[in-house]
Amino acid sequence: MSEVAPKELRIVGFLCNWCSYGGADTAGVGRFKQPTDLRIIRVPCSGRVDPMFVVRALLTGADGVLVSGCHPRDCHYTDGNFYARRRLEMLKRLLPFMGIDDRRFHYTWVSASEGQKWQQVVTGFTNQVHALGPMHQK
Partner 1 sequence: MRVGVFICHCGSNIAGTVDVAKVAEEARKMPGVAYATDYMYTCSEPGQKEITDAIERDKLDRVVVAACSPRMHENTFRRTIMKAGLNRYFFEQANIREHVSWIGLDKELNTTKAIEEVRMAVAKVMKNKPLFSSSFKINKRVLVIGGGVAGMQAAIDCADGGLEVVMVEKSPSIGGMMARLDKTFPTVDCSICILGPKMVDVAQHDLIKLHAYSEIAEIKGYVGNYQVKIRKKPTYVDWTKCTGCGLCMEKCPTKNAYDHFNFGAAPTRAINIPFPQAIPKKATIDPNYCRQFVKGKCGVCAKVCPTGAINYEMQDEFITEEVGAIITATGYGLMDVEKLTEYGGGRYPDVISGIQYERFLNASGPTSGHIIRPSDHEEPKTIVFVSCAGSRDKSCGVPYCSNFCCMYIAKQAILTKDHIPDSQSYVFYMDIRSPGKGYDEFTRRAQEEYGAKYIRGRVSRIYPKGKKMVVKGADTLLGTQVEIEADLVVLATAVVSAPDAGQMAEKLHISYDTFGFYVESHPKLRPVETNTSGVYLAGCCQGPKDIPASVGQGSAAAAKVLSLFSKDMLESDPAIAQVNTNNCVGCLKCLKTCPFQAIVEDTLRSGKKVAKVIETVCAGCGVCTSTCPCGAIQLQHFTDNQLLAEVNAICQK
Binding stretches for partner 1 (CB under 8 A): 5, 8, 10, 12, 17-19, 21-22, 24-25, 27-29, 31-36, 39-45, 47-53, 56-57, 60-62, 70, 73-74, 76-80, 83, 87, 111-114, 119
Nearest to partner 1 of 43, 129 (CB atom): 43
What is the C-alpha separation between 63 and 5, in angstroms, rounded? 18
CB of 8 to partner 1, least distance (A): 7
Nearest to partner 1 of 49, 100 (CB atom): 49
CB of 60 to partner 1, least distance (A): 4
DSSP 59-107: HHT-SEEEEEEPPTT-BTTBSHHHHHHHHHHHHHHHGGGGT--GGGEEE
Nearest to partner 1 of 10, 130 (CB atom): 10
Nearest to partner 1 of 116, 128 (CB atom): 116
What is the C-alpha separation between 35 and 130, in angstroms, rounded? 11
Of 26, 3, 9, the residue nearest 118 (C-alpha): 26
